[in-house]
């Protein structure tokens, strides 16, 4: 199927600013779905509220655009009630780890079979550039006019600690890598998290004097490095990209099937 | 027919009613005095082929049932005051996106953590207006276990018929009290199944285009029709819009589909109303004491009657107006500082003849409590 067949053309043009990194993620996602050869009827996209969350409306899958931070909770209901569906949850950094942080932890803890794609632009894009839990110390935002004193989360570390069984990170510069990770995350039987560092030139870029979109994208190349690279040893400040966790543990819906058997008097 | 007879708590009656109605998915978070429903579902639902999940809080509980409803299942959650407060945003979502679901609130004393193990009827107005923005809602209640069972079935039927969340407002007293429950045979009570679209694959299906009768056939997630569901104002495809006409049409549709059916949705019981000089209007646990007083006074020749409301929202104003017409006085019995009493005043011809009999100290309002107030109203002194 051609990529455009996965798109709801009638709902374009999209609402993202020129140069927004979220579009790259959409592209990678569609390529991953295409490579997997999934039928559109088998996929449910569940998203919260934010610029990132709007992805769900543009794709021709079943789409559920929900409440800020609550996407994984809605998605849990979708998945557990119909486990044969592929549930993909595109999330903003605020969506996933501020207001929705608790749901993120618990979805990971349950190891329920769905894929969270955290589009980390280190800012609240939709509401106009307030700081997020990913902005970090020294970052500038409309609610941190004197620079942020809030420490930053690390999406990968949180996902790992909470029990996600597939955890990866890439950036909007590394589109092919993103596609591969999303592909593998969807295939993975358990809770998978793919963090993709994206650029918000409109707010994060402007507030933090990082230039235009192309400058920000290029910067992703400069500030990241593959996991365990020599560059990382020499420069510990580099952010690692790659697959951090990939392991098989009992998936929640499959475990619940065993509960049904037990309750019915079997096993 | 041989009905199964059980001696149970009201909360179990609610759970039995939900199972009878065909609940297939339940998400909840424990809270007194509703936990027996959640525990009961954990025990019974998997054996019935359904799914139970204990979520991390009440916010996620209501979100999860909305998600499960969209895959084509009958869904429910149960909670009490603090949890019901947390559910309001999700409840508004279910209203906006027109998702059938049942939310049980076993009321306890509030505000805040309040009185966890004591009865109250303080959430009646929250059920009506807890969600931000203009909207309408259906809320049912019951005073006996048999009625709790039946109203639970009704809640599912109404939710499926009108694509709407339905609130079941029980209270701690009824929820924890034990009495007899006869489980109806399968087929005794009518069950409404979800109306699904007959639009074929490849033909445009509009999830938000009402049929001529106002109903909106659904299509399950995972089926052949792919559409968007959102809490934003949306068009007939479910895609966000801020077009003034579409916005206006949608808010009218959401409100009218309920408010235009006030009489269809009205569930109530009448006791000795025909020749009554004075009428009590009550609901839930309070109605039990009210009925006791009515029967007792009748034996002494006093012409007292009771209108027991089972639909609280949309408020059955016509029914109340009719039942209270020409009566010397109307006494609203409820366990709050006065919530339904204001609706009754609005509904009747002579609001000055409407009085409140209430109790708000966490103790159950007893027949002697009501009797005292009755005597005061009658000028007989306590
Ligand atoms: C309960 C609630 N609180 C606040 C908001 C306002 N709000 C909408 S999106 C958003 C933040 C979006 O940031 P992020 O999740 O990082 O997504 P981005 O727009 O950056 O992609 C906020 C605070 C809301 N919609 N709902
Ligand atoms: S505000 Fe930022 S995140 Fe939102 S669309 Fe514009 S660039 Fe993208
Ligand atoms: Mg963001």
With cut-offs at 50, 70 and 90, classify the pLDDT of residue A12: confident
Residue nearest atom 23 in ligand 1 by C-alpha distance: A127
**Residue-range domains of chain B with CATH:** 4-183 (3.40.50.970), 268-377 (3.40.50.920)
Q: Per residue in A188-239, pLDDT tens?
A: 999 999 999 999 999 999 999 999 999 999 999 999 999 999 999 999 999 9
Compare CB distances from B68 to A40, A80, A106 and report the shortest one's residue. Answer: A80
Which ligand 1 atom is the nearest neighbour of the CA of A91? 15
> With contact defined as beta carbons under 8 Å apart, do B159 and B193 qualify?
no
Name which of A153, A53, A144 is nearest A97 in CA terms.
Answer: A153
ipTM of the prediction: 0.98
Q: What is the pLDDT of residue B150?
A: 98
Segment A37-46 shows an average pLDDT of 97
Q: What span, in angstroms and rounded, lies between the C-alpha atoms of A180 and A35?
A: 9
Q: What span, in angstroms and rounded, lies between the C-alpha atoms of A143 and B347?
A: 49
Q: What span, in angstroms and rounded, lies between the C-alpha atoms of B111 and B108?
A: 9
Q: What is the pLDDT of residue A266?
A: 67
Q: Which residues of A touch B27 (CB under 8 A)?
A: 76-77
Q: What is the pLDDT of residue B2?
A: 80
Q: Per residue in B194-249, pLDDT tens?
A: 999 999 999 999 999 999 888 999 999 999 999 999 999 999 999 999 999 999 99
With cut-offs at 50, 70 and 90, classify the pLDDT of residue A1: confident
**Residue-range domains of chain A with CATH:** 17-263 (3.40.50.970)
Ligand 1 within 6 A of CB of A94: yes
Residue nearest atom 6 in ligand 2 by C-alpha distance: A17
Segment A84-99 shows an average pLDDT of 98
- Which of A13, A81, A252 is the best mutation test for B, with the most CBs of B within 10 A? A81
Q: What is the pLDDT of residue A2?
A: 84
Q: Per residue in B299-315, pLDDT tens?
A: 999 999 999 999 999 99
Q: Which residues of B touch A61 (CB under 8 A)?
A: 226
Segment B66-90 shows an average pLDDT of 98
Q: What is the pLDDT of residue B5?
A: 97
Q: What span, in angstroms and rounded, lies between the C-alpha atoms of B222 and B244?
A: 32
**DSSP character string of A201-265:** IIIIIHHTT--SHHHHHHHHHHHEEETT-HHHHH-TTSEEEEEEEE-----HHHHHHHHHHHHTT
**∠ at Cα B348 (B342, B351), nearest 5°?**
60
- State how beta strands B178-183 and B138-140 pair: unpaired
End-to-end CA distance of chain A: 43
Cβ-proximal residues to B232 (8 Å cutoff; 6+ apart), any chain: A65, B96, B240, B241
Residue nearest atom 7 in ligand 1 by C-alpha distance: A127
Task: Match 């620079």 to its residue by tokens.
Answer: A147
Per the prediction, chain A carries an average pLDDT of: 97
Query: Residue B1: pLDDT above 80?
Result: no
Ligand 1 within 6 A of CB of A90: no
Q: What span, in angstroms and rounded, lies between the C-alpha atoms of B347 and B342?
A: 9
Q: What span, in angstroms and rounded, lies between the C-alpha atoms of B239 and B235?
A: 6
Report the gap between the CA of A30 and the closest CA in chain B (Å): 16
> With contact defined as beta carbons under 8 Å apart, do A166 and A13 qualify?
no
* Phi, psi for residue A233 in degrees, rounded to 5: -65, -35
Q: CB contacts < 8 Å between A and B, how many?
A: 137
Q: What's the CA-to-centroid distance between A126 and ligand 1, angstroms?
A: 6
CA-CA-CA-CA torsion sign (A34, A40, A46, A52): positive
Integer CA distances (angstroms), A262 to A77, A83, A250, B43, B177, in order: 22, 19, 17, 11, 31
Query: Residue A136: pLDDT above 70?
Result: yes
């Amino acid at each position: 199927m051609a990529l455009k067949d996965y798109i709801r053309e009638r709902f374009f043009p999209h609402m993202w600013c020129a140069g927004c990194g979220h579009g790259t993620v959409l592209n990678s996602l569609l390529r991953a779905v295409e490579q997997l050869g999934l039928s559109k009827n088998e996929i449910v996209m569940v998203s919260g509220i934010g610029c990132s969350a709007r992805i769900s409306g543009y794709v021709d899958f079943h789409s559920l655009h929900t409440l800020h931070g609550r996407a994984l909770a809605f998605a849990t209901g979708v998945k557990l009630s119909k486990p044969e569906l592929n549930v993909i949850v595109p999330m903003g950094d605020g969506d996933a780890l501020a207001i929705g942080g608790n749901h993120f932890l618990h979805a990971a803890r349950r190891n329920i079979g769905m894929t969270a794609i955290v589009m980390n632009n280190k800012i609240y894009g939709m509401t106009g550039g307030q700081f997020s839990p990913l902005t970090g110390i020294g970052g500038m935002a409309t609610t941190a006019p004197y620079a942020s004193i809030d420490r930053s989360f690390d999406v990968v570390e949180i996902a790992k600690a909470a029990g996600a069984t597939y955890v990866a990170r890439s950036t909007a510069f590394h589109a092919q890598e993103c596609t591969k990770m999303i592909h593998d995350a969807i295939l993975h039987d358990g809770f998978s998290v793919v963090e993709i560092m994206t650029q918000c030139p409109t707010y994060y870029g402007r507030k933090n004097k990082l230039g235009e979109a192309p400058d920000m994208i290029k910067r992703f190349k400069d500030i990241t490095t593959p996991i365990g690279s020599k560059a990382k040893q020499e420069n510990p400040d580099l952010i690692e990209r790659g697959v951090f966790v990939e392991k098989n543990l009992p998936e929640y819906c499959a475990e619940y099937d065993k509960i049904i058997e037990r309750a019915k008097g079997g096993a | 027919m041989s009905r199964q007879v059980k001696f149970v708590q009201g909360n179990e009656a609610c759970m039995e009613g939900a199972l009878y109605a065909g609940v297939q998915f339940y998400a909840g978070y424990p809270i007194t005095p509703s936990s027996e429903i959640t525990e009961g579902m954990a025990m019974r639902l998997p054996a019935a082929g359904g799914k139970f999940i204990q979520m991390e809080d009440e916010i996620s509980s209501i979100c999860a049932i909305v998600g499960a409803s969209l895959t084509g299942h009958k869904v429910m959650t149960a909670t009490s005051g603090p949890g019901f407060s947390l559910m309001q945003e999700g409840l508004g979502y279910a209203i906006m996106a027109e998702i059938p679901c049942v939310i049980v609130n076993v009321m306890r004393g509030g505000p805040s953590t309040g009185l966890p193990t004591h009865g109250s009827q303080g959430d009646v107005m929250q059920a009506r207006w807890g969600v931000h923005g203009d909207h309408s809602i259906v809320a049912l209640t019951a005073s006996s276990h048999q009625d709790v069972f039946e109203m639970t079935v009704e809640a599912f039927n109404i939710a499926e018929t009108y694509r709407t969340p339905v609130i079941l407002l029980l209270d701690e007293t009824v929820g924890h009290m034990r009495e007899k429950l006869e489980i109806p045979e399968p087929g005794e009570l009518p069950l409404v199944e979800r109306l699904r679209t007959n639009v074929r694959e490849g033909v445009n299906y509009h999830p938000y285009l009402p049929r001529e009768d106002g109903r909106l056939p659904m299509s399950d997630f995972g089926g052949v029709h792919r559409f968007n569901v959102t809490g934003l104002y949306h068009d007939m495809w479910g895609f966000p819009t801020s077009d003034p006409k579409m916005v206006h049409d949608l808010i009218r549709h959401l409100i009218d589909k309920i408010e235009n059916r006030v009489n269809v949705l009205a569930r109530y019981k009448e006791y000795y109303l025909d020749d009554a000089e004075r009428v009590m209007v009550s609901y839930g646990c309070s109605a039990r004491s009210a009925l006791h007083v009515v029967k007792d006074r009748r034996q002494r020749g006093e012409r007292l009657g009771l209108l027991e409301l089972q639909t609280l929202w949309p408020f059955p104003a016509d029914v109340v107006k009719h039942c209270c017409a020409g009566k010397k006085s109307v006494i609203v019995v409820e366990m709050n500082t006065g919530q339904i009493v204001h609706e009754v005043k609005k509904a009747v011809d002579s609001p000055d003849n409407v009085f409140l009999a209430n109790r708000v100290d966490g103790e159950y309002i007893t027949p002697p409590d009501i009797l005292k107030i009755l005597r005061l109203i009658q000028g007989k002194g306590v």
